[in-house]
Amino acid sequence: LRIDGAELRLVRLELLTPFTISTGTMYEKIIPLLTLRANGIEGYSEGVMDPLPDYLDEQIAGGMALLRDVLLPQVIGQTFDNPQAVERLLAPWRGHYMTKAMVEMAFFDLWAKSLGLPMKTLLGGAGDAIDVGVSLGIGPVEETLERVRRHVEQGYRRIKLKIKPGHDVALVDAVRRAFPETALSVDANSAYTLADSGKLARLDAYGIDYIEQPLAWNDIQDHATLQRRVSTPICLDESIRSARDARKALQIDAARVINIKVGRVGGYLESLRIHDLCAAFDVPVWCGGMLESGIGRAHNIHLSTLPNFSKPGDTSSASRYFARDLIHERLETENGRMPVPAGTGIGVSPDWDFIETITLSKESFSP
């Protein structure tokens, strides 16, 4: 495939309700969107970097500059036989996993469409729907109980509670009392240190599926120490940027579950390597989310059809986050199952008329 054009946009999408995690509150999503073209076919991707480096050390401004000045000029006009060739070209650049993932994922979509295959098939997945849960932001306990109730009623397969110091054991205690049977997890987004081991061990009493990323975003070692002190499985999110990180974590028992976000690890090929490695260690994975629009969600859904994605992912209904999505299709769950978009590639089509109205910037690239 010869890449004969590209378009890079930044769009602004209002969140229906603010989303609070231990690091802060999000009120809107600023989304980088990439289109790659070849032979009249288009591939799409969405960047998951944030305006500020408060989830990981990557941010939109740096990613956009790298795409504009380096990555897109590198791929435009070039011919690639497969996604591996794209990955090889971008491999020398340090970091910038989310930015590189945009190029790799848009190419994957293009490639799948050129082969006439659904993305899931190309990845080695199967099935028409995936199990999903929800991620509930930090808020007053009473309000959280009400939101848990609503989502349990809707059939979501797991409720993930965002926690932070001062908003943890009492919250979990209240939710567990009200919902003795519900699959629960917690996500701290790196808000604790090993000094909090005792506090985190108190969560062992509540039958939680896993504690997601309790310690530093760039740590693996301390999570292994913590795992020796708590019986609840630790799930790593932020700490896993590559299959090499995953190997190190698995070798020292720092993670008994891994959250794969395709953007966080630089794309599908690395996601597949992490998926396979975890399967070899008998460690389940699930697909995380970054409040993506339908374009990113569609990618996540296809990835989630692989066999070792054996826990519910975070790809809940788009209507929970946005009044209107960037795509024509509706990505809504039914009884905790998200249908896999049909058709070739990611199977969703951007609603350019709507996107145009929320576009902050737009640039075209040609050979």
Q: Which residues 74-133 are close enough to bind ligand OSB by CB under 6 A?
A: none
Q: Please say which residue, 61 or 91, places its beta carbon nearer to ligand OSB.
A: 61
Q: Determine phi and psi for 60, rounding to 5 degrees.
A: -60, -45
Q: Which residues is 160 bridged to in the sheet? A: 135, 185
**CB-based burial label for 321 (10 Å; 0-12, 13-18, 19+):** buried
Q: Which does 190 bind (CB under 5 to 8 A by kind): ligand OSB, Mg ion, none?
A: none
Told to check if 316 binds ligand OSB by CB under 6 A, we report: yes
Instruction: Return the closest-CA partner of residue 339 out of 111, 89, 128, 151.
Output: 128
The residue (of 212 and 292) whose beta carbon lies closer to Mg ion is 212
- Under the binding rule (CB under 5 A), the answer on residue 50 touching Mg ion is no
Report the residue count for the chain: 367
**Cα 5 versus chain centre, distance:** 27
The strands making up 359-365's β-sheet, listed across from edge to edge, are 41-46, 24-38, 5-21, 359-365
Does residue 43 contact residue 110 with C-beta atoms inside 8 Å? Answer: yes
- CB neighbours of residue 141 within 10 Å: 13
Q: How far is the CB of 21 from Mg ion (least distance, A)?
A: 8
| Interface with ligand OSB, residue 291, by CB under 6 A | yes
- Cβ closest to Mg ion, residue 42 vs residue 238: 238
| Contacts of 80-84 spanning 24+ positions with Cβ under 8 A | 80/1, 80/3, 80/107, 81/1, 82/111, 83/107, 83/108, 83/111, 83/267, 83/268, 83/269, 84/269
**Residue 15: CB atoms within 10 Å:** 17
50 or 237: whose CB is closer to Mg ion?
A: 237
Q: Is 237 in the site for Mg ion (CB under 5 A)?
A: yes
Residue 290's binding partner out of ligand OSB, Mg ion, none, with CB under 5 to 8 Å set by partner kind: ligand OSB
314 binds Mg ion (CB under 5 A): no
| Catalytic status, residue 162 | yes
State how far the Cα of 42 lies from the Cα of 115, in Å rounded to an integer.
13
Pick the stretch among 36-44, 200-208, 288-296, 331-339 that binds ligand OSB (CB under 6 A). 288-296
Which one, 187 or 245, has the nearer CB to Mg ion?
Answer: 187
**Stretch 186-205 residues interacting with Mg ion (CB under 5 A):** 187
- Using CB under 6 A as the binding rule, whether residue 135 contacts ligand OSB is answered as yes
Asked if 100 is an active-site residue, the reply is no
| Least CB distance to ligand OSB at residue 367 (A) | 36
- 29, 160, 162, 311: which one is catalytic? 162
- Closer CB to ligand OSB, 1 or 235, in the complex: 235
CA distance linking residue 192 with residue 121, whole number of Å: 40
| Residues whose CB falls within 8 Å of the CB of residue 69, separated by 6 or more in sequence, listed in order | none
Contacts of ligand OSB in 155-214 (CB under 6 A): 187, 189
Site for ligand OSB in 17-76 (CB under 6 A): 21, 55
Site string for Mg ion, 149-188 (x = CB under 5 A): --------------------------------------x-
Region from 39-47, 119-127, 206-214, 264-272 binding Mg ion, contact rule CB under 5 A:
206-214
Query: Which span (88-96, 149-157, 171-179, 282-290) binds ligand OSB, by CB under 6 A?
Result: 282-290
Reduce the DSSP state of residue 198 to 3 states and report it. Answer: helix
CB-based contact 364:7 (threshold 8 Å): yes
Task: Provide, rounded to whole angstroms, the least separation between the CB of residue 289 and ligand OSB.
Answer: 2
Phi-psi region of 32 (alpha: psi -120 to 50; beta: other; left: phi over 0): beta
CA distance 256 to 130: 21
Q: Which is nearer to ligand OSB, 136 or 254 (CB)?
A: 136
* Interaction of residue 317 with ligand OSB, rule CB under 6 A: no
Task: Tell me which residues are annotated as active site.
Answer: 162, 261
Site residues, Mg ion (CB under 5 A): 187, 212, 237
Residues found near ligand OSB in the complex (CB under 6 A): 21, 55, 135, 187, 189, 237, 288-291, 314, 316
